[in-house]
Amino acid sequence: MGTRTRGFANNITSPSGVFDATDLNGVVPATNLANSSLTNVTEVSPSLGFSITSVASDPPAPSEGQMWYNTTSNTLKGYQNVSTNAWASGGNLSTARTGLGASGASNSSAIAFGGSLPPGSATGASESYNGTSWTNTPSLNTARTTLGSASAGTQTLALAFGGGPITAATESWNGSSWTSVNSMNTARFQITGFGVQTSALGFGGYTTTTVANTESWNGTSWTGVSSLNSPNRQCGAAGISNTSGINFGNGGGTGPISQTESWNGTSWTIVNSLNTGRGSLSGAGIQTLALAFGGAIPPYTGATELWNGTSWTSNPTGLATARETIGGTGTQTSALAAGGSTATRLANTEEWTGTVLSTRTITAS
């Protein structure tokens, strides 16, 4: 930073006890100056150069609000929040259906499986999505609808469990085929789940009544753990393991239809409710950054809400097609809504793009 020349007063005046006008000069060493001590600077010497950094390539991990000049592309750039938060149409499913499961890391890489076909028969149909279109893949071994899925899994590593007709069957997907693995302890349909192929949680559902049972999957077997605070079925969920996630909404249990519960690996805790109470909805994301969409109040709704770990915020626009029992997966910034139903089974797919941070080129307008 260099040195700085300052004037020093040399006399103390009476009776105020303050220094008089400057009449001594001296130099303050640069080592005695700290950036945080400089305030009210009105001019920067040209010798210090520009205040915006010049770099040959964009910083690998910039901070929000950071700006720089790229000398290779000769462009001024900044890292900013790009608020999209909108749904857009994607490719239709090959098989229109409702009550399907889904797994995937984004709106361009997912797999959807199972569901109900007209006039209500269960299917094992499985399809893979590449961001543009769906491709048929080998079917589930057990055809079923309103099943649970490890929705935070991937297109090549998925898990399907429970479903109707009432079953405890669990199947694992390796990118090429479905393999039957150890069954759940409690057979049920209209079950909800979250997690990945090796670490998942299944909860709620319907046997002869709505249940609160929760089971944890460790990649090999299911273990009963603490129950939901309220029996619940066909709710939405978000989470990436059997130790961290949330559920929201209620499709026919005893609790409020706007209720949200958070899972810490040991027990469920009731937290702030949805703004739009509903059942048969879907979700995506993680325990602290989740997305809730669709469902039935009734009537059907496309309402979309974002969770920040504490509370829900309603997005101004929702799904283009209001519907329930959707196959939902992805993250809060990149999610997928496939199929579902209104009065009929649907093939519609919608892709969600949320608020993201990205490098932007600054141009004159």
Residue 252: is it exposed, middle or buried by C-beta count within 10 angstroms (0-12/13-18/19+)?
middle
* Closest alpha carbon to 200 in 167, 182, 222: 222
Q: Tell me the C-alpha to C-alpha distance, in Å, between residue 55 and each of 34, 39, 362.
A: 25, 27, 15
Q: Which two tokens stand for residue 53?
A: 């950094």
Cross-strand partners of 170? 161, 181
- C-beta of residue 82 within 8 angstroms of C-beta of residue 354: no
Q: What is the pLDDT of residue 65?
A: 73
By the 8 A CB rule, do 111 and 104 touch?
yes
In degrees, rounded to 5, the angle at the alpha carbon of residue 317 between the alpha carbons of residues 343 and 357 is 130
Distance CA 283, CA 363 (A): 37
Domains in the chain: boundaries: 1-49, 86-356
pLDDT in 10s for each residue of the chain, 365 residues: 455 555 555 555 555 555 555 544 555 565 665 555 555 555 555 554 556 888 898 887 777 678 888 899 888 877 665 557 999 999 999 999 999 999 999 999 999 999 999 888 999 999 999 999 999 999 999 999 999 999 888 999 999 999 999 999 999 999 999 999 999 999 999 999 999 999 999 999 999 999 999 999 999 999 999 999 999 999 999 999 999 999 999 998 888 999 999 999 999 999 999 999 999 999 999 999 999 999 999 999 999 999 999 999 999 999 999 999 999 999 999 999 999 999 899 999 999 999 855 566 777 65
Compute CA distances 31 → 34, 174, 200, 282, whole Å: 8, 61, 56, 59
Pairing type for strands 53-55 and 67-70 reads: parallel
**Two structure tokens written together for 255:** 């609790």
With helix as H, strand as E and coil as C, how does 103-120 read? Answer: EEEECCEEEEECCEECCC
Would you state the structure tokens that stand for residue 30, as one six-digit string?
């640069």
Q: Residue length, the chain?
A: 365
Quote the CA–CA distance of 51 and 54 in Å, as a whole number.
9
For 223-236, letters b (16+ CB in 10 Å) and e give eebbbbebbbbbbb
CA distance linking residue 188 with residue 195, whole number of Å: 18
DSSP notation for 45-85: -GGG--SSEEESS--SSPPTT-EEEETTTTEEEEEEEE---
Q: Look-up: residue for tokens 């020349």?
A: 5
Measuring CA to CA, which residue among 164, 162, 210 is closest to residue 184?
162
CATH of domain 86-356: 2.120.10.80
- String of DSSP letters for 210-241: B---EEEE-SS-EEEEPPPSS---S-EEEEEE
Nearest Cα residue to 142 out of 178, 177, 104, 192:
178
Rounded to 5 degrees, what angle do the CA atoms 275, 299, 116 make? 105
Cβ pair 192, 201 in contact under 8 A: no
